Amino acid sequence: MKFNDIKDLYEFIFKVEGKYIKLKNREIFTFKDELSLNFFKMSYTSLLKNFVYPIILFALLYLFCEAIKERYVSIYTSYAAKTTIRVHEGDSAVWLQENYDDTHWGLQLPKAPYFAWMRMRINLDSNQVAGRMLGLGLWAYTGSYDLYWDGVHIGSNGIPGIGSEEVPGQIDKIFSIPDSLLTVGQHLIAMRASQQFSKSLSTKPYVIIEEYEAQIKYLIIVAAFIHILTGVFLIISIYYFFIYFKSYRQIVFFIFAIICLLLFAGSFLHYFKFYYKYPYPFHLIRRISLEAIIMFLGISLSAYFLFLYKIKQSRIFLTVIAIVFAVSFLAFNPNGINQKSYLLYKEVVLISLMITIWALVKAKEYSRSSLYSLIAPFTILFFLELYFFNLMMYISFFIFIIFNLYTLSKTMGVQKKEREKYLIESNRLKLELLKKNIQPHFIMNTLASLISWVEEAPIIAVKFIEALAAEFRILVDIAEQDKIPVAKEIKLCESHLKVMSYRHEVDYQLKCIDLDPSLTIPPAIFLTLLENGITHNESEMNKIIFELQLEKSFDGMTYRFFSPSIVEYDDEPVKDGTGMKYIKARLRETFADAWSIESFKKNNGWEIKINLLR
Amino acid sequence: MKILIVEDEKRIAYQLEKLIRQILGKEISRLNVCQTLNAARNYILSNTIDVLFLDLNLKGYDGFTLLQEMVAGSFHTIIVSAYTDKAILAFEYGVLDFVAKPFNKERLEQAIARCQNIQTHTNYFTKHLAIRKHGKIEMIDIKDINYIQAAGHYSELHLTNGKKELHNKSIDKLLTLLPSNFERIHRSYAVEMNKIERIQRYPGSKYEIILKDHTVLPCSRLKFKELNEKLR
């Protein structure tokens, strides 16, 4: 069975099953050309790549998180969730007694500064007690305290006190519980605590009872693991700073370096507390810094994507996004410990994802690999409230970075090619510029009219030759330059007009309005406009005045060139003739994407606007 | 002689006009200069001319669109241009001569001599003949021409596919442009030598030429001798 074209194959497939089926017999696939086979695959693969694969990736990551979530919870149970911490302000020796009835005590910590007692009861079963050295971990409590186990003082964290009497304790502390006190049954943990610093922050401790050694080990393992990522973020950041400053001066590389630097700072600031126990007043500074880091991460990510996709008006979008982040950072003040960083993180991921999906719809380059890179950060949005969220956040951003390294290496390849093309183009333009006025037909036409002048009026002929020499002198002077002062360009235009005036016996003039002679532009841009204007001029007038005007605006400037009495064109004068091609190539070479050119009919002539963005 | 100059540069047009007047003097019955394409078109529509001096790069437009239009006319076209690299192409389209800029009087004299003398085959490059058909220009490959028949001031091109097309130039003017394998066989007929099968001789000095596609054309007595030698 043979198929001569793709249509036959389609028909076959749809006849057999009414849907796509795999054809195992290889003989069936004898296509006339391979292109059509690729096309056949395309429609399916683009669907797969844009929708199915991302969803599969998301599902896998989600299931993975679900799985390790369970494991995490079993290893690291927060006792705080199971027991009730009761609080009472003040100080009394009675409150450490085991049989004191605290049921009338409140559940909330008073507003700092305070001096208060906290009491909670826990149950130990025989499994927990049997021959193990248990530790009592009190986590993320912002205060100083003496700790009592069944009324026995087993340790202190700082010295609780009123006002400046207090010596601040560490943010986390793990106490070993003496063997003699470890019995099966109910126990009372009492804390004589005070918080005199960090007045806007008051949190009850997370209470963890687990093997002492395991608790210590766990922290070191997590910190060590995270610090591998921290190191990676730092190295990538340094590497991209080098790339930006030394080879490819592309804003995306700079922003990417910033993103990695922020991730480095974030992961370090987050996890150094696992081995360095700072005094609790520093906790507030650390938390605000972390929130600020997430905020800046959001702004840089948005900037990164906006510039990567080369979205127009990216500055405006970025300003709006930055305001959104700044407002959520400054205004939103929730009660929970991590609420603000959660909110900021949600914003980071959702805004980046929105930009990327929009880019994907618009079929922007690199949007697909960016979509893949955002799936991991997106997945863990669903695990926001879990204890292991922070850890997963850095892992997911590590995955994000890996995907984007791929994207950026692709852009570097593209840029290398572009740069090579640019060099060739640049040389070609230099040649073009010289050719422009030294090309045979220009010289031949000029000589033809010169002969006439020599015969008729030798004095004018001499002036004509002088004007021609002046034009050539300037041309040779600027031929090798990429940019020349406007003043020089105007001089070139004027000498050309002089030559053309002798040739055509028309008084050509260039009227310059508000020009800034110190600005620079690529050579022969206005000259080319003038040449076009002269060539397409159909009027029989003896005097023709071209106008060149500079208008400055808040986002750049515009050169308006007015060429009178062009009647030939009905609609579009700026066809891509060699002249226009030259202008566009020069502008692209000098201003990259920050320019545009437009033209329209105006007062019995044509106006051409060259807009240069800042 | 009625002359039209199409040249956008006043100085050159002036020089051209001056030299042509010097060369032809009183032979000129009318001489006009058009600066633009449209002016030239309009002028040709309402006036008859004998020779057109045409600048090939007119106001930045591709002069060849105009050229195709012009060579379909009844007059001879002489190109005066700085684009010497386009000369061969111009000849292929069937111009009488190509004068490079800058030009001098001698070169112009030569060109003008070509249109004055009824001298055949000055152009060896012509590959197409442009005809005007339903207001449009059509190019006919000269290989497709079987024979040419005079039709008053015009000529009829009889093509190998049996079709017949009218050309605005007279048979004399056409023969000036066509390569030397086109031979005049009669006052009203010209034929390409390769297309001739044989010559039939009748009593009373009557001759007929039989083409390969069995067309029979009259042949004048004077031409017979010449042809017979060439065919041998």
Condensed to tens digits (0 to 9), the pLDDT of residues A323-370 reads 999 988 887 665 555 678 888 899 999 999 999 988 888 888 888 889
The reply to whether CATH 3.40.50.2300 applies to domain A79-212 is no
- Taking residues A422-447, report their average pLDDT: 75
- Report the DSSP beta bridge partners of residue A187: A122
Q: Is B39 on the interface with A (CB under 8 A)?
A: no
Q: Is B107 on the interface with A (CB under 8 A)?
A: no
B179: preceding bond cis by omega (within 30 degrees): no
Report, in angstroms and rounded to the nearest whole number, the Rg of chain A calculated over CA atoms: 38
- Report the DSSP beta bridge partners of residue B184: B190
Contact state of B102 with A536 under an 8 Å Cβ cutoff: no
Contact state of B12 with A455 under an 8 Å Cβ cutoff: no
- What whole-number distance in Å separates Cα of residue A515 and Cα of residue A512? 6
* Cβ-based contacts under 8 A for chains A and B: 64
Contact state of A536 with B59 under an 8 Å Cβ cutoff: yes
Contact state of A577 with B35 under an 8 Å Cβ cutoff: no
Query: DSSP strand E in A140-258: where?
Result: 144-149, 152-157, 173-176, 185-195, 206-211
Contact state of B59 with A538 under an 8 Å Cβ cutoff: yes
CA A608 to chain centre: 36
| Selection from A31, A32, A1 nearest residue A15 by Cα | A1
The Cα of B54 is separated from the nearest Cα of chain A by a number of Å equal to 14
Contact state of B103 with A448 under an 8 Å Cβ cutoff: yes
- Taking residues B164-193, report their average pLDDT: 85
The Cα of B100 is separated from the nearest Cα of chain A by a number of Å equal to 9
Q: What residues of chain B, 9 to 38, have a C-beta less than 8 Å from chain A? A: 9-12, 14-15, 18, 35-36
Contact state of A452 with B10 under an 8 Å Cβ cutoff: no
The Cα of B58 is separated from the nearest Cα of chain A by a number of Å equal to 9
A522: preceding bond cis by omega (within 30 degrees): no
Q: Is B220 on the interface with A (CB under 8 A)?
A: no
CA B32 to chain centre: 21
| Selection from A373, A422, A416 nearest residue A396 by Cα | A373
Exposure of A216 in the CB half-sphere (CA atoms within 13 A): 9
Provide the 8-state DSSP code for A407: H
Over 50: is that where the pLDDT of A552 sits?
A: yes
Q: Are B131 and B74 in contact (CB under 8 A)?
A: no
- What whole-number distance in Å separates Cα of residue A195 and Cα of residue A142? 7
Contacts of A287 (CB under 8 A, 6+ apart): A201, A341
| Selection from B56, B179, B55 nearest residue B129 by Cα | B179
Contact state of A455 with B15 under an 8 Å Cβ cutoff: yes
Query: Long-range contacts of range A426-431, CB-CB < 8 Å, 24 or more positions apart?
Result: A426/A482, A426/A589, A428/A585, A429/A582, A429/A585, A429/A586, A429/A589, A430/A479, A430/A480
Helix (H, G, I), strand (E, B) or coil at B99: strand
Roughly how many angstroms between the first and final C-alpha of chain A, as a whole number?
63
Contact state of B82 with A506 under an 8 Å Cβ cutoff: no
H or E stretch covering B2: strand B2-6
**ipTM of predicted assembly, 2 dp:** 0.75
Over 80: is that where the pLDDT of A84 sits?
A: yes
pLDDT for residue A80: 56
Burial state string for A166-187 with b = 16 or more CB within 10 A and e = fewer than 16: bebbbbbbbbebeeeebeeeeb
Over 90: is that where the pLDDT of A401 sits?
A: yes
Determine the residue among A441, A453, A463, A574 to mutate to test chain B binding: the one whose Cβ has the most chain B Cβ atoms within 10 Å: A441
**Model confidence band, residue A112 (pLDDT cutoffs 50, 70, 90):** confident
Q: What residues of chain B, 179 to 208, have a C-beta less than 8 Å from chain A? A: none
Q: Are A509 and A545 in contact (CB under 8 A)?
A: yes
Q: What is the pLDDT of residues B25-59, one digit of tens each?
A: 888 889 999 887 778 888 888 888 889 998 877 55
Q: Kindly state the percentage of chain A with pLDDT values over 90.
A: 34
The Cα of A559 is separated from the nearest Cα of chain B by a number of Å equal to 24
Q: At what angle do helices A525-535 and A389-438 cross, to 10 degrees?
A: 50
pTM for this predicted structure: 0.55
Q: What is the pLDDT of residues A125-177, one digit of tens each?
A: 888 787 778 889 898 888 999 999 999 999 999 999 988 889 999 999 999 98
pLDDT for residue A546: 92
Residue A402 CB neighbour total at 10 angstroms: 13
Residue A46 CB neighbour total at 10 angstroms: 12
Q: Are A308 and A407 in contact (CB under 8 A)?
A: yes
**Model confidence band, residue A33 (pLDDT cutoffs 50, 70, 90):** very low
Q: What is the pLDDT of residues A510-547, one digit of tens each?
A: 999 988 888 899 888 898 888 888 877 777 778 899 99
Q: For residue B220, with 0-12 CB atoms within 10 Å meaning exposed, 13-18 middle and 19 or more buried, which class applies?
A: middle
| CA distances to A238, A505, A507, A575 from A534, in Å | 55, 12, 11, 16
Q: What CATH number should be reported for the domain whose range is A439-613?
A: 3.30.565.10
What backbone phi and psi angles, to 5 degrees, belong to A176?
Answer: -90, 140
- What whole-number distance in Å separates Cα of residue B174 and Cα of residue B190? 10
**Model confidence band, residue A68 (pLDDT cutoffs 50, 70, 90):** confident
Please give the residue that has the higher pLDDT: either A374 or B83: A374
Q: For residue A195, with 0-12 CB atoms within 10 Å meaning exposed, 13-18 middle and 19 or more buried, which class applies?
A: buried
Query: Long-range contacts of range A377-382, CB-CB < 8 Å, 24 or more positions apart?
Result: A377/A348, A377/A349, A377/A352, A378/A58, A378/A349, A378/A353, A379/A58, A379/A61, A379/A62, A379/A65, A380/A61, A380/A65, A381/A345, A381/A346, A381/A349, A382/A62, A382/A65
Q: Alpha-carbon torsion A458, A461, A465, A467, what sign?
A: positive
Provide the 8-state DSSP code for A279: B
Q: For residue A15, with 0-12 CB atoms within 10 Å meaning exposed, 13-18 middle and 19 or more buried, which class applies?
A: exposed
Residue identified by tokens 């940019």 is A483
Domains of chain B, earliest start first: 2-116 (3.40.50.2300), 128-231 (2.40.50.1020)
Residue A197 CB neighbour total at 10 angstroms: 20
Q: Is B83 on the interface with A (CB under 8 A)?
A: yes
Q: What is the pLDDT of residues A458-513, one digit of tens each?
A: 999 999 999 999 988 888 888 778 889 999 999 999 999 999 998 888 899 999 99
Q: At what angle do helices A367-379 and A53-75 cross, to 10 degrees?
A: 20
Please give the residue that has the higher pLDDT: either A114 or A332: A114
Over 90: is that where the pLDDT of A234 sits?
A: yes
Residue A560 CB neighbour total at 10 angstroms: 16
- Assigned token pair, B89: 């192409």
Q: Kindly state the percentage of chain A with pLDDT values over 70.
A: 86
- Report the DSSP beta bridge partners of residue A120: A189
pLDDT for residue A23: 42
- What whole-number distance in Å separates Cα of residue A271 and Cα of residue B42? 88
The C-alpha torsion from A99 through A103 and A107 to A112, rounded to 10°, is -60
| Selection from A126, A153, A132, A283 nearest residue A205 by Cα | A283
- Taking residues A392-420, report their average pLDDT: 88
Over 70: is that where the pLDDT of B67 sits?
A: yes
Over 80: is that where the pLDDT of A431 sits?
A: no
Contacts of B163 (CB under 8 A, 6+ apart): none
pLDDT for residue A336: 54
Residue identified by tokens 């009660």 is A335
